[in-house]
Chain A
Amino acid sequence: MTAETAAAPTTPEEFRRELSVFLASHHPGRPPKSATRKEIADWQRQWSATLYDHGFAGPSWPGAYGGMDLDLERQIAYYDAIARARVPRHPGNGPGIAGPTIITYGTPEQRERYLRPMLRGDEIWAQGFSEPEAGSDLPSLRTSARRDGGEYVVSGQKTWSSGADIADMMILLVRTGTRESRSRGITYLLVDLASPGITVRTIRDMAGGEHFCEVFFDDVRVPVANRVGEENGGWRVARASLGHERAARALSQAMLFRRVFDELVAVLKERGAFRDETARDRVAQLEIGVRIMTLSAQRTIDDIRRTGTPGAASSTSRLYQALLEQRLYELAMELLGPDALLTGKDPGAVQRGRWVRNYLSSRAATIGTGTAEIQRNTIAENVLGLPKEPRP
């Protein structure tokens, strides 16, 4: 039993109620109208700080770094309450990706310096992995780091870095080995985005959003003390962080999907869509999909608790989730019919255009953080053990 549960012997139900009361009384309301990305991020930061200051941040993080260290039942209750409360998301990739990596592979100094400000939203984190010439083939990345005394000197370009424009820090993969060294010559760095020599430019995506960024590094100096793991040992660290991303996100995503799906059912019901037996069938089918998402996430967490590893269900849950997200919004478009055509800028849009906006955004679900095709390769080779593609 963890210190947290020993100190607060509440049942998961009591915990959920306590959290719900807190969320209701501290809810920050709707995001500021016609705000800039930075203003939205500041609004999110404030909420992260509120959570942290009241002991409601980092459900799976250790207490030593300001987390809640919750058991499985309470994590489920936590994510469920958060998803239903419609509170702001934590800005950036810190608590889900960078944090667990630093907790596992970081030095004591790095943990002391970065974890609490990360969890509180005082410092927002972005991820610098993909490059223009290194997308699915990430081990071919070229952004280089040359050792110069107690510093690395970083040069190159990253892309598809979500939220780098509003972030303070970045987890960065750089080449320290020869160009041919592939995954054996990659190093994992923590980079202050205010460092001289860094330029960030946003990319407009097909849904009209601007959270993807290109990040240029021109002789940027990064202290060697900011390296996570060994020099040339960054690939292993990065792969582990992708694993954390999966495990931590599966459950909260599932809870979020449940809420969004229930809202879709409500709007369809209101509009009389279920007079059509086919619509009922399609929605029931998706209900099963949403159930499976939660159940698989629970299985994964049970496996982690029981055996220390995520187990079989986790290997497929990310691909399953991505496909389900697309199915959900495809179905929304189909069943809303022509009314789904008006976007958020049109006063006649259904629910401020959320369904059409998310329909467009959901096309990224099978592209970002590894395309569906790459995920299928990984599942086939690493889980099923099918023979690797011969290298040309």
Chain B
Amino acid sequence: MDVSATERDDLRRSVRDFAASRPLADAVRRVVEGEAAYDQAAWDTLATTMGLTAIGIPQEYGGAGYSVAELGIVAEELGRSLAPVPFLSSAVLATSALVCCADDAAKAQYLPGLADGGAIATVALGGFTSWPFPDRTAINASATDHGHRLAGTAGHVLDAGAAGLLLAVAGLEDGWGLFAVDPASPRVVLRRHEALDLTRPLYSADFDEAEAVLLGRGPADWPGLAGLASRISAALACEQAGGMASCLETTVAYLSSRAQFGRPIGSFQAIKHRCADLLVELEAARSVAYEARDRAANGLPGRPGVVAAAAAAQSWCGDAYVHAAQEAVQLHGAIGFTWEHDVHLHLRRARADQLLFGTPRAHRRALADSMGI
């Protein structure tokens, strides 16, 4: 589907307005204080009123028929707000897993529910020791008379408490499979971690011979899995760019109003130069994230150009968001070190994003491989 520049601008503006709304800011705090695992009202607005959960899903499966390009725009704008909703887990990870790795019947079964937001899903990927492929030993599947059973542990599963459907990428004898698991099954044990990022709850999932339905399978170098990794990297990079923009804007506003020595502290060069450097990094992040997003949208999954663009984006944006958040804390001075101020929430999110889906160093290793060095 061809999307005009104007449509994209409209989409961006509507998500930005939503991300900046007061109720959402209150919701962030409720989740931070542990009163909820996510904000139902914000999710309803996002899914039902705005239709954002349908963004990355083909029309034939009840989706809006947009691509990763538009998914990235939504992720970028939501990233500004730390919106405590399972958007990344359900609308990006789970949706992408189904789009990239599931067969048509499975797509038809699960995608319409994810599209209208009535269903929430997440993915147990089981850690990345050799990006873009998950750790082979983490979760394994064995065939039974009726289907499959999964055994193993995924140490880092986002938003599992909100999800009614758990997708798992597990090793098969001759490759990989994507499986559906019922998180309420007694053979699945979810444990919520006390984790760094307070706005996106993190769980572990233990599978003790849990019943699982095979949704799609592929060989050891499954392009579907590589495509999934590229989509995750691209959308996450956009989210990171949005988070950076928020850090910088908040910081510039503070520096313009806070006065010491009889003048706004933002008029001091020592401060200004650090902000200028952050803008340099932010514009670079946008350039590399947009490229990854558009390549993932238009390129064939697993192709070197798509993989390299995704790796470049994750390496740069992962580091740059952390830097922006750390600088935001520093430039806010003592107020930035308080629990009440939101800037530490970005720092927490930035670090979690940087380490969860392949570290920058792992992405650079993948990039070096693709360069043939």
Contact = CB atoms under 8 A, between A and B. Distances in A.
Interface of A: 265, 268-269, 274, 280-281, 283-285, 287-288, 291-292, 295-296, 299, 306, 312-313, 315-317, 319-320, 323, 373, 375-377, 379-381, 383-390
Given A284-B315, A284-B368, A390-B267, A384 B275 contact: yes
Given A284-B367, A291-B288, A376 B273 contact: yes
Interface stretch (B34-42, B221-229, B278-286): B278-286
A299 B290 contact: yes
A185 to B, nearest CB: 26
Contacts of A281: 361, 364-365, 368
Contacts of A379: 276, 279-280
Given A313-B286, A384-B252, A385-B252, A319 B361 contact: no
Given A385-B252, A386-B256, A288 B288 contact: yes
Nearest to B280: A316
A390 B263 CA distance: 9
Given A280-B373, A383-B279, A320 B284 contact: yes
A388 B269 CA distance: 9
A313 B273 CA distance: 17
B315 A288 contact: yes
Contacts of A313: 283, 286-287
B291 interface: yes
Given A313-B287, A377-B269, A385-B252, A280 B279 contact: no
Contacts, number: 125
Interface residues of B, number: 37
B57 interface: no
B276 A375 contact: yes
Contact of A295 (B252, B279, B288): B288
Nearest to B366: A284
A280 B277 CA distance: 26
Given A284-B365, A292-B287, A380-B276, A386 B267 contact: yes
Nearest to A291: B312
DSSP majority for the A interface?
Answer: helix
Contact of A265 (B269, B272, B279, B373): B373
Contact of A389 (B269, B279, B291, B364): B269
Given A265-B371, A296-B284, A316 B365 contact: no
6 contacts: A287-B368, A291-B312, A306-B5, A312-B283, A377-B273, A384-B275
Contacts of A390: 263, 267
Residue from the set B264, B275, B315, B373 with the largest chain A CB neighbour count within 10 Å: B373
A381 B272 contact: yes
Q: Which 10 A-B pairs have the closest CB atoms?
A: A380-B272, A376-B276, A284-B364, A295-B287, A379-B276, A387-B267, A386-B266, A376-B273, A284-B368, A280-B368
Given A377-B276, A387-B263, 16 more contacts: A280-B364, A280-B373, A281-B364, A284-B371, A288-B312, A292-B288, A295-B287, A313-B286, A316-B276, A316-B280, A380-B266, A380-B275, A384-B248, A384-B279, A387-B264, A387-B266
B255 interface: yes
B275 A299 contact: no
Contacts of B309: 291
A291 B312 CA distance: 8
A380 B371 CA distance: 36
A366 to B, nearest CB: 12
B207 interface: no
A280 B291 CA distance: 23
B87 interface: no
B316 interface: yes
Nearest to B259: A387
A239 B272 CA distance: 22
Interface hub of B271, B272, B286 (most chain A Cβ within 10 A): B272
Nearest to B289: A295
